[in-house]
Amino acid sequence: MQEENEGASKVFWEVELKRLNDSLPQERKLISELLKDDFPFFTNIAGEKVMMDKAEINEISKIVPNARDGEVRLPLVIIKEAAAKKGVYRVEGNAAEVKTINSVLGKDSDNQFIFRPEILELCKKFPTLIVFGFFY
């Protein structure tokens, strides 16, 4: 009986996490591509078009050096892992995207892990360019 409950619980959490992650992008786009679009957007896993603010894209493009312009894709993805300590998040992406987030936060490091106060700062600066995912 207990094994059945554990199996049902596991299935429940898998379904819930899948639903929570529906906001993640199907495909992320280069900043240079998005700057050319009049109405930049990405399509999430649920199939919905999500608009991105052109002014925010312009602002973040100023932070990204031209040498990394072809490496940074938007939206930036932040993952909350169940195994991580409370308030710790991981930047999902390549080294240029990690560097970009650290630059936005005014940090010299290339740390892939960021903390809740930094999440709030990112969301204030670029609310349409940040997407959250959950990993169990």
Letter for the amino acid at 40?
Answer: P
- Read off the pTM: 0.82
Reading the block at residue 101, the tokens are 């987030």
pLDDT number for residue 67? 55
116 in Cβ contact with 3 (< 8 Å): no
pLDDT number for residue 113? 94
CA atoms of 57 and 100, how far apart (whole Å)? 13
Straight-line distance from the first to the last Cα atom of the chain, in angstroms, rounded to the nearest whole number: 24
pLDDT number for residue 108? 84
pLDDT number for residue 13? 60
The domain limits of the chain are 2-135
The 3-state DSSP class for residue 91 equals strand
pLDDT means per 10 residues in the chain (136 residues)?
64 67 93 94 96 96 76 94 84 92 90 93 96 86
pLDDT number for residue 124? 96
Q: Establish whether the linkage from the previous residue to 75 is cis, with ω within 30° of 0.
A: yes
pLDDT number for residue 20? 79
